[in-house]
Copies of this chain bind each other. A is one copy, B any other.
Amino acid sequence: MTRHRRDENGAAPDDWLSIGEVSARTGVAVSALRFYEELGLIASERDDRNQRRYPRHMLRRVALVSVAKRIGIPLQDLREAFADVPLDRPPSHAEWQRASRVWRRQLEERRQAIERLEAELTGCIGCGCLSMKACALLNPGDALAEDGAGPRRL
């Protein structure tokens, strides 16, 4: 569907952003934006010159992709996190909230992993006790009371 600069709601031209504008406002490279679109993480429509036009609400989505990437969440996981957030219209409050629950769960896990490592560094290494046997850090599954000694599945 080719879309022009003025949509059926009579929105002003400014309501659609070019890829260059999105790049400038989010700090994400133009090439990365096209790549994210290819992955389905973001979406755009086209104007009469076949150039991408982004609705404003896409800025938020791009920003979240960018931040998540900085934190180290793989883009594939992001797709899951965005699964129920629509691409073709501004997501509702409830939709963002549902999505944010998924995000928070992912972030929680990461934060806890980091906190465990911080604790270990302060405790085990600080005191020299890093034993390779009982250390929770070295056994992230937290469930390896199996037979045999030594950590598994790092």
Residues of B within 8 A of A70 (CB): 113, 140, 154
Residues of B within 8 A of A6 (CB): none
Residues of B within 8 A of A122 (CB): 100, 104
Q: Given known contacts A67-B137, A107-B118, is B93 in contact with A128 (CB within 8 Å)?
A: yes
| Dominant secondary structure of chain A at its interface with chain B | helix
CB-based contact B104/A114 at 8 Å: no
CB-based contact A117/B150 at 8 Å: no
Residues of B within 8 A of A115 (CB): 111
Whether, in the assembled complex, A72 has its beta carbon less than 8 Å from a beta carbon of chain B, the answer is yes
Residues of B within 8 A of A152 (CB): 27
